[in-house]
Amino acid sequence: MIRILAIDDEKGILRLIENALIREEYDVTTLDDPSQLDWNRLGDYQLILLDVMMPGKDGFSLCEEMRERVDCPILFLTAKTEEKDIMKGLGLGGDDYISKPFGIGELRARVAAHLRRETREKKHVVSVDGVQFHLHSKKVIYQGAEIGFTKSEYAICEYLALNHGQVFSKERIFEHVFGYDKESDVSAITEHIKNIRAKCQKAGLEPIETVWGIGYRWR
């Protein structure tokens, strides 16, 4: 059974999450106090829902610590949707965010989309202009060295690279990568692209081109 961890200081939100996801036959663990987290069991979870604004240690700090131990999807639950907050969360290793207040249908769709990405089978290595995409392990290798992308960053790179030369809008990328079409959240793609470009530049690459007014393409 798929195990999901949800951390939020609002008990009402946790009840909503638990009720919504148990009906999908997920095993849901909820915590309203981050200090109660058993770090030794963190690897047991296939997905983590993490509130941003909590007393004591906030969600951003927790995410940064978690990323040193696990690589499962981490989705932020947040009322903070300003670009700088989105950029910070994604830069620390978050995969997506869900804006409060959210509905049960949206929550289920987002969770299901990220879990599908984790379980889909890929068995090949594809090379695009010297950049190797290891489709099974979700790694990108360039000149013998791995570029350390998050899962969401990797998914964006893979989508653009395997369709290199084609231009895709932020909405199209978002829908393909996350499997859920919600126009107000496409700003997440902008921040992921910024992070991808920064990591590629360190490796001596500039593969993603902005086509103004349309979207992005892999050169």
Question: Residue 68, exposed/middle/buried by CB under 10 A (0-12, 13-18, 19+)?
Answer: exposed
Give pLDDT tens digits for 173-202: 998 887 765 554 678 899 999 999 999 999
* Gap between the Cα atoms of 167 and 215, Å rounded: 6
pTM attached to this predicted model: 0.62
Within 8 A by CB and 6+ apart from 205, the residues are 131, 142, 147
Q: Which of 180, 195, 186 is nearest to 215 (CA)?
A: 186
Angle between helices 151-162 and 187-202 (to 10 degrees): 80
Give pLDDT tens digits for 147-176: 999 989 999 999 999 888 899 999 899 988
Name the β-bridge partners of 128.
131
Domains and CATH numbers, the chain: 3-119 (3.40.50.2300), 125-218 (1.10.10.10)
